[in-house]
């Protein structure tokens, strides 16, 4: 088995040899790699056979439907070919944090927590995420936590002022009681303190819970009533009152740069007298008429400001709804950044995104196991995973070009001068005429700034590492309504097209600048919206073929039938086995593949249309923040594993239409039973099986999550139109 070992910076005695250095990390190639390679070669041969057979059929019949099927199968072949790179050389790594030097030798760490809308991302949750990072087992003097509030909301700043007070009690409590999950929101929501890894019960925990609940209540009151600076209940200092008086002149998209240092490690102590990490609230300047470049712009402003304030060589980017579940996760990242071999061209260490509160079947495929776990293993074998936007430890020097390194970086010892400089670099016009967003910092030009940034860093010669400890290091929230899940994926589709369809495409530029394997993996991610072509085709044409008794596939007695059967069964079987191999369940795999079909029909289709409109300068919907707030009824349906269709959405019109077409085709196929159309029947039956939640929502349910009547009416009308169109196509 292929393996590799990297050396640490100190010598230890291993296996009796006093000169062998203890490795900080190791890797080995996945043991299933040979099987994946053999399967890829066999499957590639079968695809060539299918294309030849389809071309022969087209030449014999000149059928429009046959031609469209060929297009769909060519896209399937392209996407499959790109995806094989993930399976060609997947690697697994292991870290040894106990072999690190003492904490005083660790580099400084800046943590970036990004939020944009207090209505969709509750401030208390954002504060809890920041507190979980402040509670890292890391030298306080080397740790700074920044919250980037791109909504410029006064309630978010107020929440962090409250959070800074609470942190003086929370951090020593976690440290002294061995708390593992250091998000207070999660800790106090658990049924018992032991479920969050706490050795203390009653007493201190109960008092701290009351303190936390009081903080939450104060923040929620401000959310509901607004901030009144003359209120005795708010207990604001004179300086805080002046801050919030100025806030009355601000709006979310029209305000100056706002930087408030809430805690200083060289001044502020917790209740036990130990130093606290720096805590800084940051909101960049926004003015009408100046592009803000969404999250990438926010991160770049914070990157510049933090260079002046603390200038840590390491940065952790973390979404506001992700929290730390392992206070030693920075040490795992250091096993690579302090490795003299691995760190030379190391841009970032990527931890997987994992999610809390998923129901047993994960009905919306919220785990996204392929994207967040299986694919990164494969990319790591070619130079490293893509940047996932959260749970990522980055090297600051990788985000700057060499000419900018070392220009800034000061301690928080001269508050007025330093804050003045930091405010200046957060101005909305600072980047005009510069290389920010192009060759410096997080890259612009895509709604998927994470994919774009990681792609460019690797094209510039940087590497990355996938760090996946047995125990989750970070947990977050996945969308828990179907509409939110599909909307999020549609936004990603547009952003990924913006990476793929450029002069520096992943398929051409990426292959030349990185490697064939890495270029193909990035292409699979960038062009995943193209799945809409084959999936929509297979959701419509076989069904229409059944209704019109016009075969599209070989009959069951034809040897070519078995080739098609092999391609379908082998693809799904391998995907199922891979899913289970990565600690999934059969039930969750079924949900995952069903959601892939749903995304292909809706998210990928609408994302493709939106991208095309954008390229033609046709106005489309802009970036939206995923909603993190749910009502009790929605949450109950999700926990019970019941799909939520209670929104009048074009997504659900398309899904209902596809479900009705599959049902029509299947019923007609049974009634007419044609031995020459077994393949069409099997595909249509598979569509019916996947559509069962839609049939329930349309015909059987009465709760608020049922399919709205307007959606059903439009779906029936659209189904009739498609059936009529199919009759014309197949009988022309």
> Would you name the residues annotated as active-site residues?
150, 450
Q: What is the pLDDT of residue 619?
A: 73
Domain spans of the chain, in order of start: 106-338+401-440, 505-731
The SS3 call for residue 111 is strand
Q: What is the pLDDT of residue 15?
A: 35
Q: What is the pLDDT of residue 342?
A: 82
Q: What is the pLDDT of residue 732?
A: 67
Alpha carbons 699 and 402: distance in angstroms, whole number: 63
Q: What is the pLDDT of residue 437?
A: 94
User: Which residue in 675, 597, 543, 553 sits closest to 50, CA to CA?
Assistant: 553
Q: What is the pLDDT of residue 383?
A: 93
Q: Are 264 and 130 in contact (CB under 8 A)?
A: no
Q: What is the pLDDT of residue 204?
A: 83
Binding residues for Mn(2+): 295, 319
Q: Which helix (H) or strand (E) holds 638?
A: helix 632-639
Angle at the Cα of 560 from the Cα atoms of 559 and 563, rounded to 5 degrees: 110
Beta strands across the sheet bearing 278-283 = 258-263, 278-283, 143-149, 109-115, 314-319, 392-395, 346-350, 463-466
Q: What is the pLDDT of residue 625?
A: 60
User: Which residue in 115, 116, 113, 124 sits closest to 223, CA to CA?
Assistant: 124
Q: What is the pLDDT of residue 627?
A: 61
Residue 372 CB neighbour total at 10 angstroms: 20
Task: Kindly list the averaged pLDDT for each block of 10 residues, start to end, along the chain of length 732.
Answer: 44 36 90 95 96 90 86 96 96 95 90 93 95 96 96 92 96 94 92 49 80 94 83 76 80 86 94 96 92 93 95 96 95 95 92 94 95 96 95 96 50 70 93 93 93 96 96 93 95 95 93 95 97 96 93 92 96 96 95 97 96 86 60 89 94 97 95 88 96 96 94 97 90 73
pTM higher than 0.85: yes
Q: What is the pLDDT of residue 102?
A: 87
Binding residues for UDP-alpha-D-glucose: 120-121, 150
Binding residues: 120-121, 150, 295, 319
Q: Which helix (H) or strand (E) holds 61?
A: helix 33-61
């Amino acid at each position: 088995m292929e393996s590799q070992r990297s050396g640490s910076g100190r010598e230890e005695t291993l296996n009796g040899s006093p000169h062998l250095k203890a490795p900080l990390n190791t890797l080995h190639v996945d043991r299933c790699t040979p099987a994946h390679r053999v399967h890829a070669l066999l499957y590639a041969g079968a695809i060539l056979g299918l294309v030849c057979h389809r071309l022969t059929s087209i030449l014999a019949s000149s059928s429009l439907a046959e031609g469209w099927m060929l297009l769909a199968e060519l896209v399937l072949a392209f996407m499959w070919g790109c995806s094989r790179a993930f399976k060609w050389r997947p690697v697994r790594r292991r870290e040894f944090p106990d072999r690190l030097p003492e904490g005083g030798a660790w580099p400084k760490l800046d943590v970036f927590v990004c939020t944009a809308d207090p209505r969709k991302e509750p401030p208390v949750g954002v504060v809890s995420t920041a507190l979980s990072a402040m509670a890292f087992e890391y030298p306080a003097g080397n740790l700074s936590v920044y919250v980037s509030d791109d909504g410029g909301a006064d309630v978010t700043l107020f929440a962090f002022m409250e959070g800074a007070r609470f942190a003086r009690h929370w951090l020593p409590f976690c440290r002294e009681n061995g708390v593992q999950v250091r998000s207070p929101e999660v800790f106090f929501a658990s049924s018992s303190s032991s479920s969050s890894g706490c050795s203390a019960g009653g007493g201190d925990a109960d008092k701290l819970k009351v303190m936390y609940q009081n903080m939450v209540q104060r923040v929620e009151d401000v959310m509901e009533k607004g901030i009144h600076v003359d209120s005795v209940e708010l207990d604001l200092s004179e300086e805080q009152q002046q801050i919030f008086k100025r806030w009355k002149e601000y709006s979310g998209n029209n305000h100056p740069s706002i930087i408030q240092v809430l805690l200083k490690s060289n001044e502020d102590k917790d209740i036990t007298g130990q130093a606290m990490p720096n805590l800084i609230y940051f909101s960049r300047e926004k003015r009408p008429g100046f592009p803000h470049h969404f999250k990438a712009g926010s991160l770049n402003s914070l990157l510049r400001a933090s260079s002046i304030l603390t200038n840590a060589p390491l940065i952790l980017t973390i979404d506001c709804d992700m929290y730390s579940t392992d206070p030693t996760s920075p040490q795992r990242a250091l096993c690579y950044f302090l490795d003299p071999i691995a760190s030379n061209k190391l841009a970032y260490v990527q931890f997987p995104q994992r999610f809390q509160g998923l129901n047993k079947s994960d009905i919306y495929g919220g785990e996204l196991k392929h994207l967040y776990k299986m694919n990164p293993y494969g990319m790591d074998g070619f130079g490293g995973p893509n940047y996932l936007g959260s749970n990522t430890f980055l090297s600051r020097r990788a985000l700057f070009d060499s000419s900018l390194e070392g220009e800034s970086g000061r301690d928080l010892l001269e508050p007025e001068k330093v804050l003045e400089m930091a405010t200046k670099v957060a101005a909305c016009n600072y980047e005009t005429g510069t290389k920010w967003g192009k060759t410096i910092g997080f890259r612009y030009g895509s709604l998927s700034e994470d994919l774009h940034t990681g792609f460019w860093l690797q094209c510039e010669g940087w590497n990355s590492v996938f760090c996946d400890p047995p125990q989750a290091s970070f947990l977050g929230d996945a969308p828990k309504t179907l509409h939110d899940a599909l909307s999020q994926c549609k936004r990603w589709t547009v952003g990924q097209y913006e990476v793929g369809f450029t002069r520096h495409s992943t398929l051409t530029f990426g292959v030349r600048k990185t490697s064939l394997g890495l270029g193909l993996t990035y292409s699979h991610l960038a062009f995943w919206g193209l799945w809409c072509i084959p999936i929509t085709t297979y959701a419509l044409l076989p069904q229409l073929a059944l209704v019109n008794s016009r075969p599209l596939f070989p009959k069951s007695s034809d040897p070519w039938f078995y080739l098609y059967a092999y391609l379908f069964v082998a693809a799904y079987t391998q995907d199922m086995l891979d899913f289970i191999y990565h600690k999934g369940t059969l039930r969750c795999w079924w949900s995952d593949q069903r959601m892939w079909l749903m995304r292909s029909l809706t998210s990928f289709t609408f994302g493709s249309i939106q991208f095309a409109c954008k390229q033609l300068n046709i106005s489309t919907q802009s970036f939206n923040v995923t909603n993190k707030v749910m009502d009790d009824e929605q949450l109950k349906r999700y926990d019970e594993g019941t799909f939520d269709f209670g929104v009048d959405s074009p997504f659900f019109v398309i899904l209902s239409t596809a479900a009705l077409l599959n049902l029509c085709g299947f019923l007609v196929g049974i009634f007419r039973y044609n031995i020459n159309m077994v393949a069409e029947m099997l595909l249509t039956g598979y569509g019916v099986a996947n559509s069962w939640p839609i049939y329930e929502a349309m015909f059987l349910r009465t709760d608020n999550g049922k399919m709205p009547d307007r959606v059903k009416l439009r779906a029936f009308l659209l189904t009739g139109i498609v059936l009529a169109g199919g009759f014309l196509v197949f009988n022309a």
